[in-house]
Amino acid sequence: MFKLLSKESNIFSIPVYIGFLLLVVIIFNILNFNTYEAVIAGITFLGIALGYFCFNTIALNYHTHLPLFLYTFFIFGLYPGRLDIGIAVALLTNSFLILLLTSTNEDIRKKSYVLVGSIVALNFIFLPATWPMAFFVLIHLIATSERIGLNIFRFILGNILIAFSYFSVMLFLGYNSWDTSYLPFGKMEWVTDYKELYPLIPIFLMLVYAIYDHFRHYNKKSLTSRYKYTFLLVFSFAQMVTIILYMNTSYEYLLLLALPATIIISRMLKFLPKFWMREVSMWLIIISLIMFKAGTFLNLF
């Protein structure tokens, strides 16, 4: 099966995967269908579907079927059927951030920093737990920009535009009180029970090995590969901070890691020295996600 998935994908591949994704979203939401849930399901679908196009933008997986297939399975395994609107918006905005910030063209990036600031602010409004993303973008900006001060100003300007619009609307609607959820560390919910996460241990270990293997062969990588892989690692770290501080048993937060984890793991599988290692690792990922899905959906753990 690994050989089949290692073939180069074509223009018709992504619509097929997106079609399967749409089927999954519809099946999981058909029993609790209403206007509000339909809007959330639509935002979720757009965010996850946009993730498929991020693979071509990041271009670390050689345009094969493997990352597309694994990403689909990650979504199937981690998608609970009903999402908070904050998670749904975060999935959509994260895909846009990846598309904008992974560009190797400095001119394109600097023209998008106002938009990036607006996206980060919008993300924070819908899900305050995503505040680490602002620090991630600032670190990325400082590490990659030629004109740091100007680009920080552009990023903050994007934040201010959305904040001003939001406060104006809330004031007009009569909302004058401040929700403590919007303060960092305001409503932390540490993970207290890890039993349901046990099936994901093999995937976690693969991620650790993938990162170790990347730095072991770091000097052999091209400059573009180093830049994009480092971007993914820092991006994933920002998501991990949110997950560790706020997830508790809301395992839908793990969807925030689905895209970067897929890219990192599928790249690791390609460079494993033995074919049987690749095949066994791929099936181990599939089995782990199915077990996690069964555990959370049927309360087996």
Coil, strand or helix: which one is 103?
coil
Q: DSSP code of 8?
A: B
Distance CA(79)–CA(77), nearest Å, equals 6
User: What domain range includes position 36?
Assistant: 2-297
CA–CA distance, 152 with 245 (Å, rounded to integer):
27
Total structural domains in the chain?
1
CA-nearest of 148, 144, 146, 155 to 230 is: 144
H-helix segments, 174-222: 201-216
Write down the pLDDT at residue 224.
77
Q: What is the pLDDT of residue 19?
A: 83
Tell me the backbone φ, ψ of residue 245, rounded to 5 degrees: -80, -30
253 contacts 247 by C-beta, under 8 angstroms: yes
CB 54 within 8 A of CB 94: no
Separation CA 89–CA 83 (nearest Å):
10
Task: State the angle between helix axes of 65-78 and 258-270 in degrees (0 to 180), rounded to the nearest 10.
Answer: 140
Q: What is the pLDDT of residue 207?
A: 93
Rounded CA separation 301/299 (Å): 6
Q: How many CB atoms lie within 10 A of CB 203?
A: 20
> Which DSSP string corresponds to 140-183?
HHHHH-SSHHHHHHHHHHHHHHHHHHHHHHHHHHT--SPPGGGS
What is the rounded CA–CA span in Å between residue 99 and residue 50?
9
Q: How far apart are CA 79 and CA 254, in angstroms?
A: 9
Structure tokens at 41: 């399901």
β-strand partners of 8: 64
pTM: 0.88
Separation between Cα atoms, residue 146 and residue 298, nearest integer Å: 52
pLDDT tens for each residue of the chain, 301 residues long: 766 676 766 656 777 888 888 887 777 766 666 677 778 888 888 888 888 888 877 876 767 788 888 998 899 888 887 788 889 999 999 988 888 888 766 677 777 889 999 999 999 888 888 888 988 888 888 887 778 888 899 999 999 999 888 888 877 877 766 666 666 666 666 666 678 888 999 999 999 999 998 888 878 777 878 888 888 888 999 999 888 888 887 888 999 999 999 999 988 888 888 888 888 999 999 999 999 988 877 665 5
Q: What local confidence, expressed as pLDDT, does residue 299 receive?
A: 61
- Helix, strand and coil content of the chain, in percent to the nearest 5, comes to 80, 0, 20
Instruction: Give the pLDDT of residue 14.
Output: 76
